[in-house]
Amino acid sequence: MTNKYRYEELTWPEVREAVAADCVCVLPVGTVEQHGPHLPLVTDVLTATEMSRRAVERMPGEALLLPSVYYSFNEHHLDFPGTIAVEGETIVRYVRDIGRSLAHHGFRKILLVNGHGSNVPFLDVAARYITNQTEAICAMVSWWSLIPRELLSKLRESEFPGGMAHGCELETSVLLYLRGDLVQFEKAEKDINFQKTEYFYWDLSAPSPVVFQEWFSRYSRTGTVGDPTKASREKGEQFVEAVTERMVNLLREFRDRTIEPRVDHH
Ligand SMILES: [Zn+2]
């Protein structure tokens, strides 16, 4: 069994070995979109990919890292230059087809690692299609939901709700740690000016009761929602380490999961 963990670097006999070893396939999915004046367009690809890579690297022979999906659904960001928007139906089919191919080759566990809030409904549907239409099972996790609650409340300085939403304290901290060279921190600006009500708000740490996404430019002047001025490289390191550790545990649990037989009750 090879120590290589990047799917695209394997040969076909090595893929056959990886299937025999019950490797979990990890597919990072991001998006290419504006992240305020201080973060690069690639932010959501970079975070999902790098956290997945760090986890998979720690478990050779147990998991494989697939090439990332860069483009996805984000048309609500199109008022800002740079955003590349793909229709929701397209992203669902595209990810489903990747999963179908993996299942066709014999892989039975596929984990989608999400880096972009608005991917959630589409990746949820894609994962269900893969699970329903193939022999494999497919699940999805957004990296920020793997941050332990205690760590989040210990490190968080920005207000709730709003401080951690987009190009925020959380994403900027993680980028400062992973690719500080791409962060223009002097341009980071607090922007929490949306209509904050009981049922409508934005924050990555806890969703508002109502699911709603309107044009980003209606509630953000800078392209940021959150307080990136509270970000630091040190926080980023702790977030990334904690997420990586939990992702390793999650992947092991998923790999060990029994796929129970279906029962046709007709
Ligand atoms: Zn983002």
Instruction: Determine the distance separating the centroid of ligand 1 and the alpha carbon of 101, expressed in angstroms.
Output: 28
What does the pLDDT read at residue 207?
A: 87
Band (144; pLDDT cuts 50, 70, 90): very high
Query: What's the CATH code of the domain at 152?
Result: 3.40.50.10310
* Residue 110 backbone dihedrals phi, psi, to 5 degrees: -130, 125
Q: Which residues surround ligand 1, an ion (CB under 5 A)?
A: 43-44
Render pLDDT for 92-143 as a digit per residue (tens, 0 to 9).
Answer: 999 999 999 999 999 999 999 999 999 999 999 999 999 999 999 999 999 9
Domain annotation covers residue 169? yes
Structural domain boundaries enclosing 42? 7-256
Q: Residue 171 C-alpha to ligand 1 middle, in angstroms?
A: 6
- pTM over 0.75, yes/no: yes
CB 202 within 8 A of CB 193: no
Residue 3, pLDDT score: 81
Residue 71 · residue 86 · CB < 8 Å: yes
Q: Quote the ligand 1 centre to 33 CA distance (angstroms).
A: 8
Q: What is the pLDDT of residues 64-79, one digit of tens each?
A: 999 999 999 999 999 9
Average pLDDT, the chain: 97
From the number of C-beta atoms within 10 Å of its C-beta (0-12, 13-18, 19+), residue 29 rates as: buried
Q: Per-residue pLDDT averaged across 141-156, rounded?
A: 98
Length in residues, the chain: 266
- Other CB atoms within 10 Å distance of the CB of residue 264: 4
Query: How many domains does the chain divide into?
Result: 1
pLDDT in tens, 170-204: 999 999 999 999 999 999 999 999 999 999 999 99
Q: Is residue 215 part of a domain?
A: yes
Quickly list H helices, 58-116: 88-104
Calculate how far, in angstroms, residue 65's C-alpha sits from the geometric centre of ligand 1: 21
Task: Compute φ and ψ for 182, nearest 5 degrees.
Answer: -95, 0
- Residue 219 alpha carbon to ligand 1 centre in Å: 16
Residue 117 within a domain: yes
Report CA(94)–ligand 1 centroid distance (Å). 21
